């Protein structure tokens, strides 16, 4: 027997052989606050304290903790110091660390939060006044893929101070935009942050269902083959196996795809395997262990085929043809002016090819779907997804159920970054649930997650860029190859964005771009924060610096000379009439350098930093990123607004909150219109039965599109209330004002409760439904206004290079962003810091390796991402160049911020040591080899 104490409660439990502590906590004690990110000891988000020591519960056997005392996230609030004072009603009885994490914006998706909080608690127990370096060292093992490191650092400092002093957690100072409105622009904490901080927030894997079956998918394992036979006999005979499905069991749609249906739900006999992650068979069993064992017993036979391992090979004559249409998913191109004329006018032309690798989202919550059959023959699907309504469509098509019989209930989502747009296990879990009439859970292992879901496109970009002697750009030609892997996923829109952004945010009279999005036998590539624009920016921003050097011009001045501005036309023919803050962003960086005494930013220096002798230098890059779907798509979102009793409001939206902070954005917009405090507004999202389709959470569109839907609905509800009161009390509607208490005019006061009761009796009632359609855009071949708006960014990055080891660190980042009006500065700050961290990962470490179609980066141990020690000092500068159509002038920021970081870093490396990095990521070996050859 095991004798343990968990959160102060003693337990005597049967000892189960081989059981992990995380399973004991989550499954036997139902303490699901402890999250599992990898199960391989690499992310540390499963950390609990065993006798006060941070311990990875996924690696620790239960038997090892016999006689010990365990603290999980659920027990932290009880350890709140006695002198801790309650600052806010909703933060009552929280530990200062929990309060600080919430109010400092350290909780985004929240999946890593339990591990972060417990590790921080252990640190403060041993060291009540830790230095920044001590915090960095203590927290380094716990990955936060949302990149909340700066906020976590500041929260730990604030909590430590509160615990040492008066119990008061100081608020975080964040950069504010305009302050001319009541709610918009005021920093607020996320409404879901408390549950995430105390461990009660439920993600899909935390849900419990009676009679639950566990699923596992047999994956092909080979990248290119024809499936010739499949023997499931041994697996069928295994006790505890309830159902095995293969392609012959598919009775309805056989393929899925968020953009194009080319991805087999299950590969059938004599059908083609196109990548290692292809699904061959599905197993549902009474336990996960049985399901895992059963897939090992299934025997497939393959006829191996040649592997198409890159997009160049895919275009070669005689290459293995992977799809009926051949290997070209799409040739994307545009042309403006006359290239020959443009290059003839140029005094200098630079020509270079740049390449970027596949990147893995590595959201901390692995994909999980639970499908539950209903008594009416329908199906409920619980899942963290970026597009719940599209999941519903795809599940209905695959199961043959009518659309209205499938209800997708989106759950808290532990990060997505584009990687949860395609279906993962949604269809497979649903098929098994329909076949067994029992609830079925399909939880990916980390390895399966890395193997299966689409990546950032590995891209090659060849550029030819010309300018006159004074630095005026005359012509640009770009040729891109995007490796879209085995299936289309979102390859067409992603590579379209890469193409349209490949000429940069500059005025160039003569432009021509060609892009080949090619099928290969690599994992599919699709949406990833930045959506093709990150790759494009690496090319053009590197080429801009190369051109500036050739012309002996200042890189910032040359960008300023050519940058888009109001009254200019983009390279795809969009005449810009408003909201182009790029010149202001460039000015902001110049000003910041001047104010901080940096007079020669591009001159290398030698500095002693944290005991290391480093060559330091600054680099610079610009970026722009479309807001919204654009290129002719109907970009719309529906919301339902309802006035509740006692001055409360409910927003219902089908849009997904995946950690980006949309909930506060919608709260603040409604609050501003209705004069109801954000705390009194609840936002219910992601339920295909109870909400209206909000469209995908992609393209940095939810602030603009769903935000506008909320604004319009709130305006309609407000008008309805004013009209009602006007008629009822015989007062001019224009004289009525709304406030936090209700409506008032002259001496008259009508409380929100009275307004509610009056409105309820009207035929229109308490609810307003609204569908907002963004302004029309045009396809690329039509040109002109292809997007509703663009965000603009400039980043300056100071790097430090260790000439002995070849190591490179981003030491300081100054990020100026024009995302239009800032709705919630706290959420904005989180997005800026998280985006910069992701950009640093792209530049300096992340490389999802695939060799001949075989995935090498199949666990976190083989895929490096930024950790706390990689955090630079980040300065955010807000440039609010408002749009007339966006809600209160907002655009979108989620993707924009990670666009300029990689080229700003590689440009800094060039200024520092003369090495032009043209393929990412930068490695120690590249730096060392260069230094050895050039010193």
Alpha-carbon gap, residue 926 to 923, rounded angstroms:
5
Which sign, positive or negative, has the C-alpha torsion 555, 557, 561, 563? positive
- Closer to ligand FES by CB, 146 or 431: give it: 146
For ligand FES, the closer CB: 36 or 878 = 36
Q: Give the dihedral of Cα atoms 365, 366, 367, 369; nearest 10 deg.
A: -80
If the CB atoms of residues 103 and 430 are measured against ligand FES, the closer one turns out to be: 103
The CB-of-142 to ligand FES minimum distance in angstroms stands at: 8
DSSP tag of 675:
-
Report, in Å, the least distance between residue 682 CB and ligand FES. 22
Find the shortest distance in angstroms from Cβ 841 to ligand FES: 13
What backbone phi and psi angles, to 5 degrees, belong to 479? Answer: -135, 120
Using the minimum distance from each CB to ligand FES, give the nearer residue, 42 or 216: 42
418 or 532: CB nearest ligand FES: 418
Beta strands 612-627 and 789-801 are: antiparallel
Using CB under 6 A, list all residues that contact ligand FES.
36-39, 41-46, 56, 58, 107-112, 144-146, 148, 364, 415, 659
Kindly tell me which of 384 and 628 has the beta carbon lying closer to ligand FES: 384
- State the minimum distance, in angstroms, from the CB of residue 30 to ligand FES: 18
* Smallest gap from residue 370 Cβ to ligand FES (A): 20
Q: Which is nearer to ligand FES, 98 or 802 (CB)?
A: 98
| Spatial distance between the Cα atoms of 280 and 303, rounded to a whole number of angstroms | 14
* Half-sphere exposure at residue 406, Cβ-oriented, CA atoms within 13 angstroms: 29
Q: How far is the CB of 456 from ligand FES (least distance, A)?
A: 18
Q: Measure the N-to-C terminal CA separation of the chain; round to a whole number of Å.
A: 65
Cβ pair 189, 259 in contact under 8 A: no
| Eight-class DSSP state of 25 | I
Q: How far is the CB of 663 from ligand FES (least distance, A)?
A: 14
Q: Please give the angle made by the CA atoms of 800, 805 and 808, to the nearest 5 degrees.
A: 30
Min separation Cβ 67 and ligand FES, Å: 22
The rounded distance, in Å, linking the Cα atoms of 70 and 523 is 41
In this complex, which beta carbon is closest to ligand FES, that of residue 458 or of residue 893?
893
The nearest distance, CB 606 to ligand FES, in angstroms, is 36
- What is the C-alpha separation between 184 and 182, in angstroms, rounded? 6
In angstroms, the CA 877 to CA 880 distance is 10
Asked if residue 233 lies in contact with residue 248, where contact means CB atoms within 8 angstroms, the answer is no
Shortest Å, Cβ 116 to ligand FES: 7
Interatomic CA distance for residues 539 and 503, integer angstroms: 9
User: Is there a contact between 897 and 80 (Cβ–Cβ < 8 Å)?
Assistant: no
Residue with Cβ nearer ligand FES (146 or 265): 146
Q: Which is nearer to ligand FES, 261 or 862 (CB)?
A: 862
SS3 740: coil
Q: How far is the CB of 836 from ligand FES (least distance, A)?
A: 15
Only one residue has tokens 């010193």, namely 935
Cis-peptide, bond into residue 326, ω within 30° of zero: no
CA distance 421 to 882: 29
Angle, CA of 62, 68 and 71, to the nearest 5° = 85
Closest of 632, 641, 781 to residue 707, by C-alpha: 641
Number of H helices, E strands in the chain: 23, 36
Residues 6+ apart with CB under 8 A from 277: 219, 220, 448, 451, 452, 486, 523
Q: What stretch of H or E contains 789?
A: strand 789-801
* CB-CB contact of 263 with 255 (8 Å): yes
Beta-carbon count within 10 A of 851 CB:
11
Nearer to ligand FES, 315 or 859 (CB): 859
Q: 383 with 422: CB under 8 angstroms?
A: no
Q: Are the C-beta atoms of 204 and 370 separated by less than 8 Å?
A: yes
Nearer to ligand FES, 137 or 238 (CB): 137
Distance CA 852, CA 359 (A): 17
* Nearest approach, Cβ of residue 39 and ligand FES (Å): 5
Under DSSP, is residue 630 helix (H, G, I), strand (E, B) or coil? coil
Measured from the CB atom, is 305 or 447 closer to ligand FES? Answer: 447
Work out how close the CB of 70 gets to ligand FES at its nearest, in angstroms, rounded to a whole number: 15
- Specify whether the CB–CB gap between 913 and 604 falls below 8 A: yes
- For residue 10, list its beta bridge partners: 5
Classify 553 as helix, strand or coil: coil
CB nearer to ligand FES: pick between 44 and 327: 44
> Looking at beta carbons only, is 35 or 510 nearer to ligand FES?
35
Least CB distance to ligand FES at residue 843 (A): 20
CB of residue 34 to ligand FES, shortest distance in Å: 9
Q: Which residue has the tokens 């988000």?
A: 45
Nearer Cβ to ligand FES (73/622): 73
**Could you tell me the smallest distance in angstroms from the CB atom of residue 860 to ligand FES?**
7
Closest separation in Å from C-beta 162 to ligand FES: 22
Exposure string for 264-303, b = 16+ CB within 10 A, e = fewer: bbbbbeebbbbbbbbbbbbbbbbebebbebbbebbebebe
C-beta separation of 356 from 534 below 8 A: yes
What is the spatial distance between Cα 133 and Cα 46, in angstroms, rounded to a whole number? 23
Whole-angstrom distance, CA of residue 307 vs CA of residue 223: 7
Pick between residue 34 and residue 795 the one whose CB is nearest to ligand FES: 34
- Shortest reach from residue 38's CB to ligand FES, in Å: 3
145 or 842: whose CB is closer to ligand FES?
A: 145
């Amino acid at each position: 027997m095991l004798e343990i104490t968990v959160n102060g409660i003693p337990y005597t439990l049967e000892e189960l052989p081989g059981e992990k502590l995380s399973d004991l906590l989550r499954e036997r004690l139902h303490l699901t606050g402890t999250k599992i990110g990898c199960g391989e000891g690499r992310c540390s988000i499963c950390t609990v304290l065993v006798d006060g020591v941070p311990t990875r519960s996924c690696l620790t056997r239960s038997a090892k903790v016999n006689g010990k005392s365990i603290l999980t996230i659920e027990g932290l609030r009880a350890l709140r110091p006695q002198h801790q004072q309650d600052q806010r009603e909703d933060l009552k009885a929280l530990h200062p660390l929990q309060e600080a994490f919430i109010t400092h914006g350290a909780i985004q998706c929240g999946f890593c939060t339990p591990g972060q909080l417990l590790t921080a608690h252990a640190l403060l127990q041993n060291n009540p006044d830790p230095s920044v370096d001590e915090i960095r060292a203590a927290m380094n093992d716990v990955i936060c893929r949302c990149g909340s490191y700066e906020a976590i650092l500041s929260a730990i400092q604030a909590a430590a101070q509160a615990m040492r002093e008066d119990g008061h957690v100081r608020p975080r100072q964040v950069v504010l935009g305009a302050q001319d409105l009541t709610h918009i622009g005021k920093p607020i904490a996320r409404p879901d942050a408390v549950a995430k901080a105390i461990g009660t927030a439920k993600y899909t894997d935390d849900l419990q269902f009676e009679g639950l079956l566990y699923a596992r998918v047999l994956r092909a394992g080979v990248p290119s083959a024809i499936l010739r036979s499949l023997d499931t006999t041994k697996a069928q005979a295994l006790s505890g196996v309830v159902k095995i499905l293969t392609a012959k069991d598919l009775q309805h749609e056989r393929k899925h795809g968020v953009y194009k249906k080319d991805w087999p739900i299950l590969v059938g006999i004599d059908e083609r395997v196109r990548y290692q992650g292809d699904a061959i068979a599905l197993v549902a069993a009474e336990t996960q262990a049985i399901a895992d064992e059963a897939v090992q017993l299934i025997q497939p036979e393959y006829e191996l085929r040649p592997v198409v391992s890159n997009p160049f090979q895919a275009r070669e004559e005689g290459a293995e043809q992977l799809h009926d249409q051949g290997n070209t998913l799409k040739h994307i191109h545009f042309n403006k002016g006359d290239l020959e004329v443009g290059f003839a006018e140029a005094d200098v032309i630079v020509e270079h090819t740049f390449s970027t690798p596949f990147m893995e989202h590595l959201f901390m919550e692995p994909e999980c779907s639970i499908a539950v059959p209903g008594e009416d023959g329908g199906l409920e699907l619980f899942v963290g997804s970026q597009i719940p309504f599209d999941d519903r469509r795809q599940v209905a098509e695959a199961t043959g159920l009518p659309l209205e019989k499938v209800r997708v209930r989106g759950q808290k989502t532990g990060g997505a970054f584009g990687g949860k747009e395609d279906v993962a296990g949604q269809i497979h879990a649903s098929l098994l649930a329909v076949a067994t009439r029992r609830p079925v859970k399909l939880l990916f292992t980390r390895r399966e997650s890395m193997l299966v879901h689409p990546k950032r496109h590995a891209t090659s970009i060849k550029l030819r860029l010309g300018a006159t002697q004074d630095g005026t750009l005359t012509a640009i030609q770009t040729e891109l190859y995007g490796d879209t892997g085995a299936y289309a996923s979102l390859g067409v829109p992603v590579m379209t964005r890469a193409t349209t952004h490949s000429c940069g945010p500059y005025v160039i009279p003569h432009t021509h771009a060609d892009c080949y999005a090619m099928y290969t036998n690599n994992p599919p590539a699709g949406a990833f924060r930045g959506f093709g624009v990150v790759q494009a920016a690496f090319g053009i921003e590197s080429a801009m610096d190369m051109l500036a050097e050739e012309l002996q011009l200042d890189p910032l001045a040359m960008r300023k000379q050519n940058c888009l501005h109001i009254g200019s036309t983009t390279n795809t023919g969009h005449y810009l009439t408003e909201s182009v803050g790029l010149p202001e962003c460039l000015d902001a960086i110049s000003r910041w350098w001047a104010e901080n005494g940096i007079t020669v930013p591009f001159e290398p220096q030698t500095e002693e930093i944290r005991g290391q002798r480093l060559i330091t230098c600054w680099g610079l890059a610009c970026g722009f990123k479309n807001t919204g779907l654009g290129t002719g798509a109907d970009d719309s979102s529906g919301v339902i607004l309802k006035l509740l009793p006692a001055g409360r409001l409910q927003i219902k939206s089908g849009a997904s909150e995946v950690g980006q902070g949309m909930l506060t954005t919608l709260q603040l917009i409604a609050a501003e219109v209705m004069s109801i405090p954000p705390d009194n507004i609840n936002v219910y999202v992601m339920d295909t039965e109870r909400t209206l389709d909000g469209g995908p959470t992609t393209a940095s569109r939810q602030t603009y599109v769903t935000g506008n839907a909320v604004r319009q609905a709130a305006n309609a509800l407000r008008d309805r209330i004013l009209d009602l009161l006007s008629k009822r009390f015989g007062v001019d509607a224009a004289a009525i004002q709304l406030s936090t208490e209700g409506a008032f005019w002259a001496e008259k006061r009508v409380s929100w409760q009275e307004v509610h009761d009056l409105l309820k009796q009207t035929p229109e009632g308490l609810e307003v439904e609204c569908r907002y359609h963004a302004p029309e855009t045009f396809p690329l071949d039509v040109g002109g206004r292809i997007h509703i708006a663009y965000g603009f960014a400039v980043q300056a990055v100071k790097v430090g290079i260790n000439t002995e080891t070849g190591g490179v660190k981003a030491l300081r980042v100054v990020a100026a962003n024009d995302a239009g009006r800032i709705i919630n500065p706290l959420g904005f700050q989180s997005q800026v810091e998280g985006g910069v961290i992701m950009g640093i990962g792209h530049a300096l470490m992340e490389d999802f390796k695939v060799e001949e179609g075989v995935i090498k980066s199949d666990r976190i141990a083989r895929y490096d991402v930024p950790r706390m020690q990689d955090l630079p000092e980040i300065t955010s500068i807000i440039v609010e160049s408002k749009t007339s159509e966006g809600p209160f002038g907002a655009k979108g920021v989620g993707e924009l911020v990670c666009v300029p970081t990689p080229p700003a870093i590689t440009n800094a490396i060039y200024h520092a040591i003369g090495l032009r990095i043209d393929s990412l990521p930068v490695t120690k070996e590249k730096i060392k080899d260069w230094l050895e050859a050039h010193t």
